[in-house]
Amino acid sequence: MKRIVSLLFVILIIIAGCGKEPEMNAVTSIEQESARQQNKMPKEMPGTFDFMVRFGYGTVNKNEINTFQDTVTKDLIMNGTATAQITLTREEMRSIYGKMREINIMGEKELGAANQTCERVPYSEDIWEVNINGETKTLTWTDRYCAQTSDMEQLLELRNFVEQIVKTKEEYKKLPESEGGYL
């Protein structure tokens, strides 16, 4: 009888120990995810804020919006590129900063496609460089593979948002039209 009670006691301790381990791991995972997602970007746009996004088809990233240099470069495909001096207004920069803060651009991002068995042709690629208060972050992603992460989709939406602002500028409208296309 003592043996059975002792055996049951040992089994109970093992079960209790195993039962708490995943719980602790789950709590640790939640805490790590929370720390990963914590947005450390200031609520208001800081005085030092610039970005550059280069994008295009495949590895041909000739389009560029660069607030470090206040330039926009347009890919003319068959005719090279054209560059214009374009300075975004403080209000436009605040708006872009707000979008970047919404997606926590300075936080960790999942930019690698989990499933690389399905490919698109042509595909696009974006390279971002963002500087906020002296901290610079570089992000690169491609839609070459069919499965996109939500972080990739957010960066595409951000790029489209910035591109729409730039396309309203008179300096951009004066740039030549692109000729040709990519396969």
Do 34 and 62 sit in the same domain of this protein? no
What one-character-per-residue DSSP string does 71-106 give? Answer: EEEEE-BTT-EEEEE----HHHHHHHHHHHHHTTTT
Note whether residue 8 is domain-resident.
yes
Note whether residue 60 is domain-resident.
yes
Q: The domain that contains 140 carries what CATH number?
A: 3.30.1560
Domain count, the chain: 2
Q: Tell me how many degrees the CA angle 167-168-171 measures, rounded to the nearest 5.
A: 80
* Closest alpha carbon to 63 in 93, 86, 92, 96: 86
Helix (H) or strand (E) holding 165: helix 150-167
Do 63 and 140 sit in the same domain of this protein? yes
Task: Supply the pLDDT for residue 20.
Answer: 44
Do 34 and 67 sit in the same domain of this protein? no
Do 117 and 54 sit in the same domain of this protein? yes
Do 58 and 146 sit in the same domain of this protein? yes
Note whether residue 29 is domain-resident.
yes
Task: Supply the pLDDT for residue 23.
Answer: 46
Note whether residue 179 is domain-resident.
no
Instruction: Decide if pLDDT at 163 tops 90.
Output: yes
Note whether residue 180 is domain-resident.
no
Note whether residue 149 is domain-resident.
yes
Note whether residue 183 is domain-resident.
no
Instruction: Decide if pLDDT at 30 tops 70.
Output: no
Do 72 and 158 sit in the same domain of this protein? yes
Separation of alpha carbons 54 and 73, rounded Å: 9
Do 30 and 86 sit in the same domain of this protein? no
Separation of alpha carbons 166 and 168, rounded Å: 5
CA distances from 102 to 30, 39, 53, 85 (A): 21, 9, 18, 28
Average pLDDT over residues 39-45: 93
Do 61 and 142 sit in the same domain of this protein? yes
Note whether residue 43 is domain-resident.
no
Task: Supply the pLDDT for residue 117.
Answer: 78
Separation of alpha carbons 65 and 158, rounded Å: 12
Please write the tens of the pLDDT for every residue from 104-146: 999 999 998 767 778 888 888 999 999 999 999 999 999 888 8
Do 12 and 54 sit in the same domain of this protein? no
Domain that holds residue 25: 1-38
Do 141 and 58 sit in the same domain of this protein? yes
Do 29 and 106 sit in the same domain of this protein? no
Residue type, 20: K
Please write the tens of the pLDDT for every residue from 12-29: 455 555 444 444 444 444
Residue 129 region, left (φ>0) first, then alpha (ψ -120 to 50), else beta?
Answer: beta
